[in-house]
Amino acid sequence: MSADVHADPLRDSRHAELPRLSRALMPGAAAPIRIVHLGLGAFHRSHQAWYTQHAGDSSAWGIASFTGRRPDAAVTLSQQDGLYTLVERSDAGDSFEVIGSIVEAADGDDVGRLAELIASPGTAIVTLTVTEAAYGLGPDGRLDAAAPAIAADLQLLAAGAAASGKPATPLGRLVLALAARSRSGSGPLAVVCCDNLAHNGTLARRAVLGMAEAFDAGLAAWILANVSFVSTSVDRITPRTTSADLDSVASACGYRDESAVVTEPFRDWVLSGDFPAGRPRWEDAGATFVDNIEPFENRKLWLLNGAHSLLAYAGQLRGHATVAQALADAACREAVEAFWDEAAAHLQGEELRIRDYRSALLQRFGNARIAHNLAQIAMDGSTKLRLRAVPVLRAERAAGRTGAAAGRMIAAWADYVICASEITDPLAGSLRLANGLEGRERLESLLGLLDPDLPAEADIVELVAGLQGSFVDQ
């Protein structure tokens, strides 16, 4: 999730007289690097960097953040010494805060610097926002060694010193850097997964170990003994920054900031796991630490992310562009409520406060001042629906019900995939192949990409087939 801001000569000339945001403009000591982050996108800047800035001991915890797919994000942020403005946008207006917890921004391809920092004894934590798809996990939750990017890195790692080239996946890069840590004797650290996956710490461990084993069994054993994989549920709606957002920061703050991020006032972070080398006091900023994270993860993944995916496909099929527009459409809103009813039946526990959570979501999604594009949410659908729709469908059927609302999300995805002109998805190739088929065969093939068992379950195929077209031609 990186900023999508294209050079705008008009903006440059309009604000040319303004100084650029930097530590010279806003003096303040940069904290020492103790956290290394992979995935320097807008969400990292609105979430983990915000929590770190608001921890009581923030002056002891600086972040070095590495880009994923957009190296230019590091260049722009470095020109501002890591500083950027976080715009909290509510119905009532905007508030602006300069965040200084990122003290170094680097190109993800700079694996040498990544290894140097992760091997440093001062580094205690590695946080990850690399997208769900980047873990390279197959439908069975294990590393898919045949996925092209993963396979290439596995081969590279297996070649060891003889390898020509550097790993290109975040996992491959992390494994190389952990190898440097194991050699340095700097001791244990925590890897904190902040991507929207259930049991994300466990899955990150599985993916990292899968890669490390290809490198050397000794490293895998070292990781198992020294690296704690913390599971977390993260939440803050953060759309891509637009040129208009940058303009509004310049007008309101009196400086130019090419790395500003716009987000909603709401934020949440639930964590579970050990931090063997310490951590910031994120609880001062409202983060909660729990023993059992699963109910919180499921609440977030099914209610928030599930509704997002449903709106992304149903909404676009009905001609809407943003979450707020889709939610204002009764057909989409009813589908969301029905899906929430199904999901809520499998979310037990007073502490989850489902009723409040649902009404807060309606308010958050309805914040029309946050233009959250459905096309952005629609990306990587095969990975997302596997986590957001399939578990609810399965739970409903195990309870003796049809799971029609979860099935409707899957049907909307299938309809969208069939008619979209361009699909961004880790399984784009397989989606194209499925699209070359017709009727029932095509649907079975699409369902198989979500869960290999689904095509053989005639009742489910029947259910989804009957729900296709729900959002088309209405």
Considering beta carbons, is residue 242 or 376 the nearer one to ligand CS2?
376
How near is the Cβ of 130 to ligand CS2 at its closest, in Å?
13
How near is the Cβ of 93 to ligand CS2 at its closest, in Å?
21
Considering beta carbons, is residue 33 or 193 the nearer one to ligand CS2?
193
How near is the Cβ of 108 to ligand CS2 at its closest, in Å?
19
Question: Judging by beta carbons within 10 Å of its beta carbon (0-12, 13-18, 19+), is residue 389 exposed, middle or buried?
Answer: buried
Considering beta carbons, is residue 176 or 377 the nearer one to ligand CS2?
377
Residue 336 C-alpha from the chain's centroid? 21
Dihedrals φ, ψ of 163, to 5°? -65, 140
Considering beta carbons, is residue 226 or 242 the nearer one to ligand CS2?
242
How near is the Cβ of 196 to ligand CS2 at its closest, in Å?
5
Contact 106, 38 (CB under 8 A): no
Q: What is the spatial distance between Cα 422 and Cα 85, in angstroms, rounded to a whole number?
A: 33
Q: What is the spatial distance between Cα 127 and Cα 236, in angstroms, rounded to a whole number?
A: 16
How near is the Cβ of 303 to ligand CS2 at its closest, in Å?
11
Considering beta carbons, is residue 237 or 464 the nearer one to ligand CS2?
237
Residue that has been written with the tokens 């899906």 in this structure: 339
Considering beta carbons, is residue 36 or 42 the nearer one to ligand CS2?
42
**Beta-bridge partner residues of 394:** none
Contact set with ligand CS2 (CB under 6 A):
196, 235-237, 304-305, 308, 376-377, 384
Residues with Cβ within 8 Å of residue 248, at least 6 apart in sequence: 87, 94
Q: Give the residue among 141, 147, 153, 146 at the shortest CA–CA distance from 207.
A: 141
Q: What is the spatial distance between Cα 294 and Cα 312, in angstroms, rounded to a whole number?
A: 25
- Cα Rg of the chain (Å, integer): 22
DSSP codes, 51-118: HHHTSTTGGG-EEEEE-SS-THHHHHHHTTTT-EEEEEEETTEEEEEEE--EEEEE-TT-HHHHHHHH
How near is the Cβ of 52 to ligand CS2 at its closest, in Å?
17
Considering beta carbons, is residue 150 or 377 the nearer one to ligand CS2?
377
Considering beta carbons, is residue 227 or 335 the nearer one to ligand CS2?
335
Q: What is the spatial distance between Cα 414 and Cα 173, in angstroms, rounded to a whole number?
A: 34
Structure token pair of residue 406: 């979860």
How near is the Cβ of 334 to ligand CS2 at its closest, in Å?
20
How near is the Cβ of 438 to ligand CS2 at its closest, in Å?
30
Cα dist from 24 to 62, 81, 100, 232, whole Å: 18, 9, 12, 35
Q: What is the spatial distance between Cα 446 and Cα 318, in angstroms, rounded to a whole number?
A: 21
Considering beta carbons, is residue 48 or 305 the nearer one to ligand CS2?
305
What is the DSSP secondary structure assignment for residue 265, as one 8-state letter?
A: S
Residue nearest to ligand CS2 according to CB distances in the complex: 308
How near is the Cβ of 304 to ligand CS2 at its closest, in Å?
6
